[in-house]
Amino acid sequence: MDDMPILMTTIILLILFEGVFNLKVAFLRYVEEGAWNRRLSGSATMNRDQLEIAPMEALQKEAIAAGIPFTPDRAALIEAILSHRERHGSAANGGETSRGAVVEGDGNNGAAAPIGRAAGRNYETAAPRHAAAAAAIHGARAVAPEPSRRAGVKPGTSGKIKPSYKGPYRVTKDLGNNRYVITDIPGFNLAPRALDTILSSDRLKPWIRTPPPMGREKT
């Protein structure tokens, strides 16, 4: 009879310890599932690596969504999920099509498609202008450089050579890909060194000699 209080105390302590242990397990599972759900919040479909570390509850939800019979065998369930995706063309849904190969969803591609189409239209309208300019430069005897788009750089100047005369120049070589070598015409160079540089057709225009306005002719 004297041992009865000790026995009751021991039983109560065991019950409390078991309750605390079960509560700890439930809390850890809740935290793990919450972290897992946050990890998958931006992905509609788990790939193989995610399936390998997913809890059984997540695999069960995946199997139910795909209509696959649930099995406690983890490896077999993962293979069944992946096989179901391959058979039903999961590439359209941004899932995994083969082992180790993940196809991203087309959300970003769909948003960027109008921009790509607009850029294509711009290229289609700009290409003929470049082609016409290249043909005009190729057949010209003399050319004049256009002002540079860079601030502080004047036509016919470079970082090392600054001729005081701004044209005309002659095209000495067509490098292809809309690039031309231009040099000074002998007798027109007023700088200490001759200009020899490479420009594209959008920086060049055929040299056309125009008469001065009426009343301003030199006598």
Query: What proportion of the chain, given as a percentage, has pLDDT over 70?
Result: 47
DSSP state, residue 97: E
Ramachandran sector of residue 152 (left: φ over 0; alpha: ψ -120 to 50; beta: rest): left
Quote the pLDDT of residue 19: 79
The count of other CB atoms within 10 Å of the CB of residue 172 is: 10
Within-domain flag for 142? no
Give yes or no: residues 53 and 33 share one domain.
no
Within-domain flag for 152? no
Within-domain flag for 22? yes
Kindly report each contact of residues 36-43 with a partner whose C-beta sits within 8 Å and lies 24 or more positions away, as own/partner: none
**Domain housing 8:** 1-37
Q: Pick 105 or 188 by higher pLDDT.
A: 188
Write down the pTM of the prediction: 0.30
Highest mean pLDDT among 102-106, 123-127, 144-148, 173-177: 173-177
Cα(72)–Cα(214) distance, integer angstroms: 99
pLDDT value at 31 more than 50 = yes
Domains identified in the chain, total number: 3
Quote the pLDDT of residue 91: 42
Of 56, 86, 116, which residue sits at a domain end? 86
